[in-house]
Structure 1
Amino acid sequence: MESLSDVLKQWPAGKNMTNRAVQIKQELLADPLVVKLREKYPELSDQVIQLNLNRLYQYTNEHRSCSNCPGLDRCPNDLEGHYTMLSCETINGLTQLNDRKVPCKKFLARESELHIRSRVKSFYVDETALQRGYSTDEILTNDLERVKAVGQVMKYIDQTKRDGLQSRGLYMAGKFGTGKTFLMCYMLHELAKEGYSGVIVYVPEFVEDLKSMFQEPQKLKETVEMMKETDLLVFDDIGAENLNPWVRDHVMGTILNYRMNRKPTFYTSNHDLDVLERHFSFTSKDGDELHKGQRIMDRIRPFVDFVMVNGVNKRGR
């Protein structure tokens, strides 16, 4: 944004420039913002006004820009998302006009949203699912076949807001593309507003990445600790991974063993709980290990409420 001196420099020297300065001063003094400012601070003499024409010019220009806001990304003010506020004080008989930068509502809303998003971490999950805006009406009406599932998720959110962090999570099963991940991201976003931290993990890629982490014990330890300690943990698309005994018993088993009766864990899957148990009971390395499948399911089944997500496949629509 141009300063008053920049505007005046655009005019020829001499009489024309002097006339322009007088005109700008008259326009500033007649501006409703300046009139209101002088009513609030009667001690603002003509001399003080003359000494602070540049501040007054910036003050009125920035407020005018805010009144016709083109959006934060195109904010014309000196400091993006901020405008100038003026105040007056008299010290030892000397009156001073002070300015300060104040964040606008749109800037504060964006900062709040970024702070909320910072509480939720994702591993291999499409970031757009976490960064998009969420409309309750859209979630309810987008697919009437999944209304019951949406109701269960919203009930869970309300209960957590009212009573605090629950020990039980949700197990969301359904066909491809019915919005299970979307609903979990919605839940994480809503509860992040209440100060809860969250982690969502796309299990198939996580399992593959764990194989490389085996050579980085510190990174593996930090990842496991994060998943153990976060308030809300979502295992997305569980049952679609190429399972191996080490991942099942020493990674997922460790995380779930710590969280049960402490913090809620959530799951999305194309399988129901019985099919998931069969999935955990077989690995390409050791074949059938029914007792190990049952062991890990003992850390899942008693600590979730089952939610069936019906609806049509929305991917690509």
Structure 2
Amino acid sequence: MKSLKQTLQGLMKSQNVTASVGQLMERVLADPDVRAFLQDNQGRISREMVQSGQSKLYEFYHEKQLAKKGETTVAPGYSPQLILNSGQIDVTYVPTQQLLEKERQRHIQRLVRSINMPKFIQNANFDNLYTDDSQNDLRLNAIDAAYQFTEDYSADHFLPGLYLYGSFGVGKTYLLGAIANELAKQKGVATTMLHFPSFAVEMRNSIKKNNTSEKLEAVKKAPVLMLDDIGADAMSKWVRDDVLGIILEYRMQEELPTFFSSNFSMAELEKNHLAIDTQGDHEPLKAQRIMERVKFLSRELPMVGENLRSKG
């Protein structure tokens, strides 16, 4: 069995340390964190324990120095910490604040599930919304309502979502993304965001793969659901009644917040898109039935203004 001196010398050699064991241990024992550890545990640590624990004290000191220099450590993302383990000095590694923050951000991102949504919604937030003097009251009202929803949301009681409508590029989709990210960050709430026209295509394709029910279940049961760009494409009877209708019926019965964005008001969506299917058939009663659920699940708010995408 190797002696402690041999063990330390081998460790030092592998790390290109040229000082003697004695000189090195003087540095280690002079380290403020090592001294604080020994002082805090002076009633539990004997001289013999310090002697036998020199390799662990050196390991702690060395890893701390590497981290301070920004060099690769034995456990990247973790910092060394001295402990007493079964009557011996030992080193454990705990997550750094940077690692914990990265993990928190990854967790937040996982809470926001997006389906065929633009990449910019991943970083959407209220701080980056245009709210300068050039913005009109209608847009600012929509932003205020969105912010208020994130403040008031609770899984214990039903809070209707928003139906945001307005022309292209006024920030409807970005605002939905900001709401989703804020709910994840502040409340730990999972949100599913989907571009409805693309989702309708996916649902039609899923018939061949025989996984229609699976996709529908995942969407309709989302704690918070956001249907983006609804009304952008004409709907078939099947998409209207057996996809959108089923989703909204379930969410109304379970009182699950649902958001919508559209270029059309609720009245325009009902009359010009839901009442007339892709075959040209006119079914106002079925459209009305869908809209009853939309109105229960959300509150209509216009967003008008300049095309923000032109700001580049």
TM-score (norm 2): 0.84
Name the SS for the 1:306 alignment partner. Answer: strand
Consecutive unaligned residues in structure 1, runs of 5 or more: none
Matched, 1:300 2:294: yes
Cα contact 1:86–1:99 (8 A) shared by 2: yes
Query: What root-mean-square deviation, in Å, do the aligned CA atoms of Structure 1 and Structure 2 show?
Result: 2.7
Consecutive unaligned residues in structure 2, runs of 5 or more: 1-7
Deviation readout 1:208-230 (Å, 9 max, x if unpaired): 1122111233x211111112211
Cα contact 1:63–1:83 (8 A) shared by 2: yes
- Distance in 1 separating the partners of 2:156 and 2:182: 13
- Distance in 2 separating the partners of 1:124 and 1:215: 20
Q: 1:143-222 counterparts in 2 under 5 A?
A: 144-145=135-136, 146-161=139-154, 164-192=156-184, 193-217=186-210, 219-222=211-214
- Distance in 1 separating the partners of 2:303 and 2:101: 32
Give the residue type in structure 1 aligned to 2:202: D
Change (3 A) 1:45 1:128: farther
Name the SS for the 1:284 alignment partner. Answer: coil
Change (3 A) 1:76 1:133: farther
- Distance in 2 separating the partners of 1:30 and 1:62: 16
Give the residue type in structure 1 aligned to 2:127: D
Matched, 1:101 2:93: yes
229-238 or 47-56, larger mean C-alpha shift: 47-56
Residue 56 of structure 2 corresponds to which residue in structure 1? 55
Q: CA deviation at 1:304?
A: 1.7
Deviation readout 1:86-105 (Å, 9 max, x if unpaired): 1125x6xxx41122111111
Name the SS for the 1:29 alignment partner. Answer: helix
Q: 1:48-127 counterparts in 2 under 5 A?
A: 48-64=49-65, 76-88=72-84, 95-127=87-119
Deviation readout 1:152-204 (Å, 9 max, x if unpaired): 1111111214x844252210112222221121122122223423322111012
TM-score (norm 1): 0.83
Name the SS for the 2:178 alignment partner. Answer: helix
Percent identity, please.
Answer: 27
Matching residue within 263, 270, 274 for 2:256? 263
Cα contact 1:170–1:304 (8 A) shared by 2: yes
Q: 1:235-250 counterparts in 2 under 5 A?
A: 235-250=227-242
- Distance in 2 separating the partners of 1:11 and 1:294: 78
Q: CA deviation at 1:39?
A: 0.9
- Distance in 1 separating the partners of 2:269 and 2:9: 70
Cα contact 2:226–2:259 (8 A) shared by 1: yes
Matched, 1:232 2:220: no
How many residues are treated as equivalent by the alignment?
A: 297
Cα contact 1:165–1:231 (8 A) shared by 2: no
